[in-house]
Amino acid sequence: MTRERVILLLALAAGVLLRVPALGVRPMHTDEAVHAIKFGELLEHGTYRYDSHEYHGPTLNYLSLIPARLASARTLDRVTEATLRTVPVFFGIVLIILPVFIARGDSLSIAIAALLTACSPAMVFYSRYYIQEMLLVAFAFACIVSVHRYALTRNPGWSAAAGLSAGLMCATKETWIILAALMGIAGFLVLLVRHREGRPFPSLPGAHVYVAALCFFAVTVLFYSSFFTHWRGVTDAAGAYAAYFTRAGESSRHGHPFWYYLGILAFSQGDHGPLWTEIAILTAGLAGIVAALRRKTDAGRGDRDFVLFMALYALLVFVVLSALPYKTPWLMLGALQPLIVCAGAACAGFLRRLKGRRLAPAGVLVTALVVLHLGWQAYMGSFVYADDPVNPYVYSQPRDDVRQIAERVTRAAAGEGVPVQVVCSGSDYWPLPWYLRLLPRVGWWSGVDSAFVPAPVILVSPDLESALVARIYDVPSPGKRDLYVPLFDRPMFIRPGKEIRGYIRLDLRAESGSIAPRAAYAGGLIPRDGAYD
């Protein structure tokens, strides 16, 4: 077995071991819960309607049917966090395997890129996240690889694969258009370099272009039309980009400075826990980009064109995403993935130049230590500090409070299906709908009005607490007022900065035995870290 195959097998093993175990260890993020509830409509009723303002594309929902069916789940209450997160895990592993299809000559750089992808803390962490980003990055790289293979072989099967991959990108998330545009710019620049070197522009058989276009539109229409049952979804998808480009330019929500992504990857350390850094990937990736731009890579001419494309693409994506005010840490995966490919090329060139020299063993040792350090950070980030804010990949992440809230409410409402009300201004109660999905009678309110009739168990945001108290004690006539007592014995948060308070009717508390009244939390305002949507 060759050295490259050994590295690839190690990459696959590391990728599986870091991604698959204990998928339920981290509480559901707000975004995960939103997508999970949206998926519940498809699972239980067989219907999906694309929303051009929220939720993103339909691929995540439809692909989630596969693990749900394999787990024999027909209703959302039978679905677990691990079931849902299997989908991004699968595509995180696909990203490790995809570099193999690049190959023509430089298999060492491909093997190292696969290993870095497998052990990158960011890649591991967001492979365990039930959102669209890992799917989008995998489909984008599949499209790039397919175009590259088509350029080498002129096989129409690869043109079809490129069209299918691009269609899946489009059906996954609206931001695909940014990545696709930057791919086009990078490809055009590579063609200019080829022309400058005296090589002609490649010809494209029209039939193969039509095959790619047909595959693209077929996949896009198939998903957005909900498999030909909701044609309005196709037109809504076409008109969705204005809203998302407007949101991308906003700094009021998720606004961060230009160097935000660079800072996450380069260096981060909180008041406890380890030092977080992927500086090795950044440094090697930059070296690979410089070598590619100078045409100094060791690969053959066709592979050098590919490395140059990835270098230009990595630079363009990193700069454009950093320039947009709207930033969330998972968006940087679109730039990190091509950067890892460039890092693999740089590491392979470094080891190749050391071959036969006294420093060769030291070079191999340094590379191995870098990979081990990345893998150790990936383990710490996804298992030990999976919901801790000191982890730079944790973003507005609910902690164990949300599970304790759900446990207390479920215990209080057990038995005869006691009604529960959740009252939060702006309907800002996520991810509670996921955690209270097992209860049969839950009402969701954005305010307290004349139609509000207090239930025996109530969760309320602090800003609406005074209105709730007035509704409970001022409106009913004397003798018809119910007494409510706190449900929690300390401040509870559904996510950072978002407190929720619980109340239970006194007679129900005595029956459920769910509260220690002497330790009941009396309330009080808690400073907020900021709102999150």
User: Is residue 517 predicted with pLDDT exceeding 70?
Assistant: no
User: Is residue 342 predicted with pLDDT exceeding 90?
Assistant: yes
The answer to whether the beta carbons of residues 341 and 287 sit under 8 Å apart is no
404-461: pLDDT as tens digits: 999 999 998 876 678 999 999 998 999 999 999 989 899 999 999 888 889 999 999 9
- Report the 10 Å Cβ neighbour count for 422: 24
Displacement of CA 449 from its chain's centroid (Å): 37
297-316: pLDDT as tens digits: 665 455 788 999 999 999 99
Give the pLDDT score at 440. 87
Q: Phi and psi (nearest 5°) for 499?
A: -80, 150
Q: What is the pTM of this model?
A: 0.91
Which stretches of 206-248 are DSSP H helices?
Answer: 206-224, 232-238, 241-248
Residue range 89-107: mean pLDDT, rounded: 86
Query: Which residues face 52 on adjacent strands?
Result: none
Sorted by where each begins, the domain ranges of the chain are 3-384, 401-519
High-pLDDT (> 90) share of the chain, %: 68
Tokens of 407: 């446990």
Give the pLDDT score at 533. 28
Tokens of 120: 């990158």
Torsion over CA: 49, 55, 56, 57 (sign): negative
Give dist(CA 394, CA 288) in Å, integer.
Answer: 29
- Report the 10 Å Cβ neighbour count for 51: 13
**Quick check: helix, strand or coil at residue 133?**
helix
5-46: pLDDT as tens digits: 899 999 999 999 999 999 999 999 999 999 999 999 999 999
Give the pLDDT score at 527. 25
The answer to whether the beta carbons of residues 123 and 335 sit under 8 Å apart is no
Length of the chain: 533
Which one has a higher pLDDT value, 510 or 236? 236
The answer to whether the beta carbons of residues 345 and 274 sit under 8 Å apart is no
The answer to whether the beta carbons of residues 509 and 484 sit under 8 Å apart is no
Give the orientation angle of helix 279-293 with respect to helix 301-323, to 10 degrees.
120
355-410: pLDDT as tens digits: 778 778 888 899 999 999 999 999 999 999 999 999 999 999 999 999 999 999 99
Give dist(CA 58, CA 353) in Å, integer.
Answer: 47
Give the pLDDT score at 13. 97
Q: Phi and psi (nearest 5°) for 495?
A: -165, 170
- CA nearest neighbour of 227 among 288, 171, 304: 171
Give the orientation angle of helix 3-19 with respect to helix 81-97, to 10 degrees.
160
Give dist(CA 177, CA 169) in Å, integer.
Answer: 8
Give the pLDDT score at 468. 93
Give dist(CA 132, CA 55) in Å, integer.
Answer: 9
Give the pLDDT score at 105. 52
Give the pLDDT score at 475. 80
Which residue type, as a one-letter code, is found at position 441? R
**Quick check: helix, strand or coil at residue 486?**
strand
- CA nearest neighbour of 304 among 199, 460, 178, 167: 199
The answer to whether the beta carbons of residues 444 and 427 sit under 8 Å apart is yes
The answer to whether the beta carbons of residues 125 and 332 sit under 8 Å apart is no
- What's the pLDDT band for 518 if we cut at 50, 70, 90? very low
Whole-number mean pLDDT of the chain? 88
User: Is residue 184 predicted with pLDDT exceeding 60?
Assistant: yes
- CA nearest neighbour of 120 among 315, 393, 430: 393
The answer to whether the beta carbons of residues 148 and 306 sit under 8 Å apart is yes
Which one has a higher pLDDT value, 244 or 125? 125
207-252: pLDDT as tens digits: 999 999 999 999 999 999 999 999 999 998 888 777 666 666 555 5
Give dist(CA 216, CA 310) in Å, integer.
Answer: 22
User: Is residue 530 predicted with pLDDT exceeding 60?
Assistant: no
Which one has a higher pLDDT value, 117 or 108? 117
Residue range 107-136: mean pLDDT, rounded: 96
Give the pLDDT score at 295. 77
**Quick check: helix, strand or coil at residue 332?**
helix
**Quick check: helix, strand or coil at residue 477?**
coil
High-pLDDT (> 70) share of the chain, %: 90
User: Is residue 114 predicted with pLDDT exceeding 80?
Assistant: yes
Sequence-ordered list of residues with C-beta below 8 angstroms from that of 499, at least 6 positions apart, any chain: 461, 462, 491, 492, 493, 526
Give the pLDDT score at 89. 98
Give dist(CA 464, CA 445) in Å, integer.
Answer: 11
